[in-house]
Chains A and B, each alone.
Chain A
Amino acid sequence: GQQLNQSPQSMFIQEGEDVSMNCTSSSIFNTWLWYKQDPGEGPVLLIALYKAGELTSNGRLTAQFGITRKDSFLNISASIPSDVGIYFCAGEYGNKLVFGAGTILRVKS
């Protein structure tokens, strides 16, 4: 079945640094989504990507849908303490989502 390989598994960065994480797959997806999950909460949608090659920003977040529809990256610029959490990529096929394993982000003040 479809699988997403998300990396890195975790990051511990200094406040103010930029962050980059990515997801790859051997499968093609119609839509790529990036979510952030805080402990004990459901995932919150950050960015949705619909077209191959699409580059979309949401504040300090930027994400791109790979031209082959098999990969995506998420960048966070000038990280702040509230960016801590787990970030998941998700690929949509049919009407279902498959999730990456998540990237745990910790920010040092």
Chain B
Amino acid sequence: QKEVEQDPGPLSVPEGAIVSLNCTYSNSAFQYFMWYRQYSRKGPELLMYTYSSGNKEDGRFTAQVDKSSKYISLFIRDSQPSDSATYLCAASNDYKLSFGAGTTVTVRA
């Protein structure tokens, strides 16, 4: 079993909708949590980084971490067609990132 589980989707939403993405993890030592966005045939791009539990907001993006339930979330408000990509969650307690499988998101114009 992978240390970070993520539903691969795909997820399709209309433009302007809220996109909700989730991951669960099993390693209680994880304390760093990240979301990456990956466009087709490109490298992952760091979107959000969170340390320990809590919320972090950056523009239309909000990341949440609940360590008690080992749950990681990313919300994208007012989604745009340019948000269509694969979103990868990742977690670590040191330098080795453990990644989820990635969720493919399509925002329909």
Are A and B part of the same complex? no
Binding site for A on B (CB under 8 A): none
